[in-house]
Amino acid sequence: MKTKTILLTLFLCIGIWGCNDKEKNNEIPNGIVREIKIDNSRVLDSIISKENKLFKLHYSDKDTIFIINSKEDFRKISNTNIDFDFSKNTIVAGVIITPSFNSRTEKVVLLKNKDYFLLMVSVLIPRKVPDIYKEYLFFWRAYPKINAPIDFMVKRKKTDNYYTVNRRI
């Protein structure tokens, strides 16, 4: 009897996990969206930077993110060809304004909830830096294809002060 119960439970679990319709439709399930590791990350590091004059044309004095879903979108920020499957994947690139060139990205997390996404970026800022300087902090991540709005939230950590900016693009 115990063996039958264990086997039945095992088959039910396999059935539930194995027959997820969302996965078959290439829909991203709710929760944390996993990043995709790509081989040419150094190329993207050089493109998503202040040295790239084309990319510089697309950001201003506000925290900004870019959703790059096609080769045409990518050509707007770079003349470089990249080996990346835009039919299945998306690049999310961003620029965050900080008061110090020593600031760094602590964490970038993309969450999905039903029909929208939330990109949360946590930035560490040195404690003794006054807020009078302006530096640009660049980041990018690759994810499975995203065809929905993305809310964007930046959390700046400087000692015990937390600054939050929310923006939908």
The verdict on residue 150 lying in a domain is: yes
Identify the segments of the chain with pLDDT beneath 70: 1-26, 129, 131, 159-169
Res 29: pLDDT:
84
Residue 5 lies in a domain: no
What is the residue range of 138's domain?
29-168
Domain count within the chain: 1
Residue 24 lies in a domain: no
- Determine the Cα angle at 65 with ends 52 and 139, to 5°: 60
The secondary structure of 13-44, three-state, reads: HHHHHHCCHHHHCCCCCCEECCCCCCCCHHHH
Domain assignment of residue 51, yes or no: yes
Task: Let me know the angle formed at the C-alpha of 156 by 155 and 157, rounded to the nearest 5 degrees.
Answer: 115
Burial state string for 85-105 with b = 16 or more CB within 10 A and e = fewer than 16: ebeebbbbbbbbbbbbeebeb
Determine, yes or no, domain membership for 113: yes
Query: Which region, left, alpha or beta, applies to residue 60 given φ > 0 means left and ψ of -120 to 50 means alpha?
Result: beta
| pLDDT per position as a tens digit, 58-99 | 777 788 889 999 999 998 888 888 889 999 999 999 999 888
pLDDT for position 67: 92
> For position 58, what pLDDT does the model report?
76
CB 149, CB 169: distance < 8 Å: yes
2 within some domain: no
Look at residue 86 and tell me if it is in a domain.
yes
Helices (H), the chain: 2-18, 21-24, 41-47, 53-56, 71-75
Q: Is residue 22 part of a domain?
A: no
- HSE at residue 167, side-chain half, CA atoms within 13 A, is 12
pTM higher than the cut 0.85: no
Predicted local confidence at residue 25, as pLDDT: 57
